[in-house]
Amino acid sequence: MGMEFLKGPLGSYQNYLRHIAFRNYFEYVSKKKLHVERGENSTPSKYEEFRLFLNAIEALNNVIDYFYFENESSLTSGFVDLNQFRKKALDLFDELRQLANLANAYKHCVRSPKGKKDESVPWAKDLQRPLLHISIDLKTESPRIDTEYRFEWPIPEYENILSRAFDFWMKHSDDQRWIVFIG
């Protein structure tokens, strides 16, 4: 690592990965585990987990940018810009493409390339599954209606996407051979 620490947490791809992206991931996983251990299942607890999840997906999604700008001059394929590099990486690595899809849903609220709403990709609201449970008891003289709002979290398929992206970056954090596939 050498003098890498002098660059600060945003000064290099490695530092960003270790001090920002991985930390956001671990903070999310730790909070979720703590809530399970304590039996915390309240809406505020689930909102907190969801916020940390969003931080983690955004941070891991940004790793490509840090890598590109740190290594721009040495990339052999001479990418025109970050977008071209990112597109190639996402085309080659499904776990990064799926993560980018979640992160972009969160980041852009409603995705509308060229000014038209794109309903073929997830929007921010699609990342959550709030539930209003209504029960009606008609067995008594005066019917009883109960309502309960629940914020269902975590969503297994999103957790899997985050986990796969984390595993990808863990595997490649010190080994940059993945870049050979991109050029």
Is the pLDDT score of 44 beyond 90?
A: yes
Residue 137 lies in a domain: no
Residue 140 lies in a domain: no
Q: Which of helix, strand or coil describes residue 182?
A: helix
Is the pLDDT score of 35 beyond 60?
A: yes
Residue 89 lies in a domain: yes
Closest alpha carbon to 13 in 63, 83, 84: 63
Residue 58 lies in a domain: yes
Q: What is the pLDDT of residues 55-70, one digit of tens each?
A: 999 999 999 999 888 8
Q: How far does Cα 73 stand from its chain's mean position?
A: 28
Amino acid identity for residue 148 in this structure: E
Q: Structure tokens of 117?
A: 């709403």
Residue 158 lies in a domain: yes
| pLDDT mean across residues, the chain | 86
* Cβ–Cβ under 8 Å, residues 25 and 56: yes
Domain boundaries, position 86: 10-123+154-182
Residue 86 lies in a domain: yes
Closest alpha carbon to 21 in 48, 56, 69, 65: 56
Number of structural domains found in the chain: 1
Closest alpha carbon to 151 in 133, 135, 167: 133
Residue given tokens 């038209």 in the structure block: 116
Residue 148 lies in a domain: no
Is the pLDDT score of 142 beyond 70?
A: yes
Residue 152 zone, left/alpha/beta (φ > 0; ψ -120 to 50; rest): beta
Other Cβ atoms closer than 10 A to 10:
10
Alpha-carbon span 107 to 62, nearest angstrom: 12
Residue 49 lies in a domain: yes
pLDDT at 112: 63
Instruction: Give residues with Cβ within 8 angstroms of 115, minimum separation 6.
Output: none
